[in-house]
Amino acid sequence: MENNIQHPEPWISNLIYVFYKWKKFVFINLILVIVLSVGIVLLLPNHYKSTATIMIPPDNQSGLGGLTSLLGGKSSLAAAGSRLFGVSNTSEDVILGILNSRSALTNVINKFNLKEYYEIDDDNMDKVLKAFRSDFISDPNEFGMIEFSIINKDPQLAAEIANYLVELADSLNIRFNIERAKTNREFIEKRYLQNLDDLRKAEDSLFNFQKKYGIVAVPEQLEVTVKAAAEIEAQLMKKEIEAYFLKEQFGENSIQYNGVMAEVNILKQKVQELKNSTELGAKSNVLFPFKQMPNISIQYLRNFREVEIQQTILEIIMPMFEQAKVEEQKSIPTILLIDKAVPAQLKYSPKRATIVLGFFFLAFFFLIPFVFWADKSVSRKEFYNPLQEKEAKFFRKLANFYRLKL
């Protein structure tokens, strides 16, 4: 039975023994550390945290419906144009980027005189910015909203700064949107004026073409010319057959035959005139010679196509231009205030209990090696150098001071 009894390891016994000998030293020093840390944390001022919560409107594309209705069937082009030229959703990153910019933070520092609050005597703004950034927290929360938090000794001042940040974020974002809309409007206006000039040139080219050839609608008028030529050739064939039978019946010198041949010659002349003449357009507002039909058709199609292209561009860009002018003048709020910052009633920091416990454990883990070092020096019987002897004398005096029984 005695062989089954487990005895503690020698080093554990030595550890317990050493701490037992130096327990008074450890206990007194831990009490001193606790007293000093409590005194220090009691001198630390309280800091309070005030938070304002905002959200970005889910859809600030006001005016897109009007743009789409103006464009009718080109609504997809309208939506694409709106996204590119002045109508866009404000993202959380934009708001956070604006508020963390140097200009915005400097605005807050100057308004609330934070240089004096942080006790920075020189005019080094970088020091003030660094101190203020450590007391300024801006992050999206788990619900997709943005929280602005200010940590300050004065809870009322912390709430005022947080609420001012909300106003500043909105005003800066509105100014940013207006400047962006102005840039977009200037770009679209330049393209709009160019389109008007191109359309005017295309219309003038089509007008000069119509005036030159005396036509209004080439396809219709060419169709009339083809039908007229077909009818004339049909009449010519009919008269040639009639002339053949008259010749066979009455002879070539007969009045009947000569009369029909006169009609045949006139019809042949008209057919040749339609096919080869270049002056037919000047004599008729409807008929055109076949010889010029390819040239007239291609010129007309090119001029008409250019007019149609520029007209289509105008139908797209004109509503975009009007929308850009509206966006440039718009100054509606771009963010929604969910929770206004109020003065905090509970302190945010310092965490005094945590600080005291931290000092306690730090001192305790520091005393562990120190006690072993001291006990080893005191217990040493032989000294190999003067330093070891001085250490032993120091630790003996320390033990005597604490009245330890070694």
Q: Are residues 229 and 289 in the same domain?
A: yes
Give the residue from 322, 337, 338 showing the smallest Cα distance to 87.
322
Asked whether residue 271 is domain-assigned, the answer is yes
Residue-range definition of the domain harbouring residue 78:
48-201+316-339
Q: Are residues 98 and 70 in the same domain?
A: yes
Asked whether residue 1 is domain-assigned, the answer is no
Q: Could you say which DSSP state residue 347 is in?
A: -
Q: What is the pLDDT of residue 293?
A: 64
Asked whether residue 125 is domain-assigned, the answer is yes
Instruction: Report the pLDDT averaged over residues 142-165.
Output: 89
Per-residue pLDDT of 247-272, as tens digits, reads 777 777 888 888 888 888 887 777 77
Please give the Cα distance from 87 to 98 (Å, whole number): 19
Give the residue from 316, 304, 318 showing the smallest Cα distance to 203.
304
**β-pair partners for 139:** 147
Q: For the chain, how many structural domains are there in total?
A: 3
Please give the Cα distance from 94 to 176 (Å, whole number): 10
Please give the Cα distance from 103 to 125 (Å, whole number): 11
91-100, 194-203, 217-226, 376-385: which is most confident: 194-203
Examine the pLDDT at 300 and tell me if it is beyond 70.
Answer: yes
More confident call, 283 vs 377: 377
Q: Are residues 186 and 229 in the same domain?
A: no
Tell me, yes or no, if the pTM score tops 0.75: no
Q: Are residues 114 and 169 in the same domain?
A: yes
Looking up residue 156, the CATH number of its domain turns out to be 3.30.1890
Tokens 């009691």, residue?
Answer: 42
Asked whether residue 3 is domain-assigned, the answer is no
Q: What is the pLDDT of residue 50?
A: 92
